[in-house]
A and B are shown apart, each in its own frame.
Chain A
Amino acid sequence: MSNAADQASSRASFKAGVIECLQLIPSYIPFGLVCGVAAMQAGLGEWGAVAIAAFAFAGSSQAVLTQFLSSGAPLTIAILSGLVVNLRMAVYSAAIAPRIAGATPKERVLWAAFLVDQTFISNEARHQRGEHMNHPLAFYLGCALTLWPWWVLMNAIGAFAGAKLPASWQLDFTIPLSFVAMVVPLLKSRSQILAAIAGGAAGVLLYAMPLKLGLIAACALGTCVGMTVDALLKLKTSEATR
């Protein structure tokens, strides 16, 4: 490919990422505002609220950390709980690693820096559609550079203006809805569906586990269920062919 054509296709990938993630922007508004307000209540100050949004870029862990700080929990427990909420990103990190085999060390830092639920799943979906061949990083950065500034801005408005949307609008519900809309089309096999069902049920049952460990325990459980179903299905087909 000529240099100019390559540059054009890189730009097209970036644009595709922007367009994909612009659709997620409404779901960031309520949660970003709430996180900004919560950071103020936890005593981070306006600039602390902006900094945590910019450098952690992980809403649910920000919410957990500030909630723990506000309730007077020890600093280490607050940080640790926030980090346990983010442990799921280690799974994303492992899942994305084989997809970026050719990335340079600098590029790997970029992949890691913006790895959140939304950027990860957008990238997975693109991969499944088979559009990943050229410029995976350009697409990813299109996604990340749409969502990240918007996330920081929403947190800042929450912190500086104390702005909240009317609760009756239920706009915070757009977060789980966006996850549903992103993940359901990616479910391809019976084992994946059963892993999701088991993970969801365990997520509810283990919700109250200390240090927010329920999430990661539910992930492990759902994965085990999926692997078991895989093994059973394999057994059945091998019996059928015998």
Chain B
Amino acid sequence: MNWGGFGTVDGWLAIIGLAIGTFAIRYSFIGLLAGKKLPPRFERALQLAVPAIFAALVVPLILFQGNQLNLTMRWPHAVAAIITGIYAWWRGGMLLSLVIGMASLHALLWFFA
């Protein structure tokens, strides 16, 4: 039976640092702004920042192999992501969108293997 170990001191410092820092980031504006009315320009900027940040997060996850852009390997992923996006926009529904996306990825990989 593996009861598990506790790792290094540096490891625990890293855990504490990440946990406290991340909570501070999460609480930042919730704590500062809750109940206050935001200027409309700021609110608009946030509406634009959300799609921008998700795209910046997602596109490398789709197109990168390891730490590099690799379109020869990843184009089926790009196509599958576009199909998923179209379906989600048209119908919505997370589970079915995921199933359709993964099915198209494997169909493409199988067909063009």
The answer to whether A and B interact is yes
A179 B58 Cβ-Cβ under 8 A: yes
Given contacts A44-B8, A199-B52, contact A181 B101 (CB under 8 A): yes
Partner of B59, one of A192, A201, A221: A201
State the Cβ distance, A106 to closest chain B Cβ, in Å: 12
Collect the chain A residues with CB atoms within 8 Å of residue B53's CB: 88, 91, 199, 215, 218-219, 222
Given contacts A96-B30, A202-B56, contact A173 B105 (CB under 8 A): yes
State the Cβ distance, A202 to closest chain B Cβ, in Å: 6
Given contacts A176-B62, A192-B51, contact A93 B98 (CB under 8 A): no
A62 B18 Cβ-Cβ under 8 A: yes
Complex-state Cα separation, A179 to B34, whole angstroms: 26
Which of A51, A65, A181, A218 counts the most chain B CB atoms within 10 A? A181
Complex-state Cα separation, A93 to B11, whole angstroms: 28
Minimum CB distance partner of B44 in chain A: A230
Q: How many residues of chain A are within 8 Å of chain B by beta carbon?
A: 101
Interface residues on B, range: 35 or more
B56 A78 Cβ-Cβ under 8 A: no
Collect the chain B residues with CB atoms within 8 Å of residue A214's CB: 56
Given contacts A91-B49, A204-B59, contact A98 B27 (CB under 8 A): no
Complex-state Cα separation, A90 to B87, whole angstroms: 30
Partner of B54, one of A96, A103, A179: A179
A83 B59 Cβ-Cβ under 8 A: no
B26 A223 Cβ-Cβ under 8 A: no
Complex-state Cα separation, A53 to B48, whole angstroms: 30
Minimum CB distance partner of A168 in chain B: B109
A226 contacts B by Cβ under 8 Å: yes
Collect the chain A residues with CB atoms within 8 Å of residue B52's CB: 195-196, 198-199, 218-219, 221-223, 225-226
Partner of B6, one of A45, A58, A207: A45
**Chain B residues near A (Cβ < 8 Å):** 2, 4-8, 10-15, 17-19, 21-23, 25-38, 42-64, 67, 69, 77, 80-81, 84-85, 87-89, 92-95, 97-98, 101-102, 105-106, 109
Would you give 10 A-B contacts (Cβ < 8 Å), ordered by A?
A: A55-B18, A94-B38, A95-B49, A97-B32, A112-B23, A176-B61, A184-B85, A195-B48, A203-B58, A215-B53
**Chain A residues near B (Cβ < 8 Å):** 20, 23-24, 26-27, 42-48, 50-52, 55-58, 60-62, 65, 69, 75, 78-79, 82-83, 86-98, 100-103, 108-109, 111-113, 115, 117, 121, 124, 159-160, 170-171, 173-187, 191-193, 195-204, 207-208, 214-215, 218-223, 225-227, 230
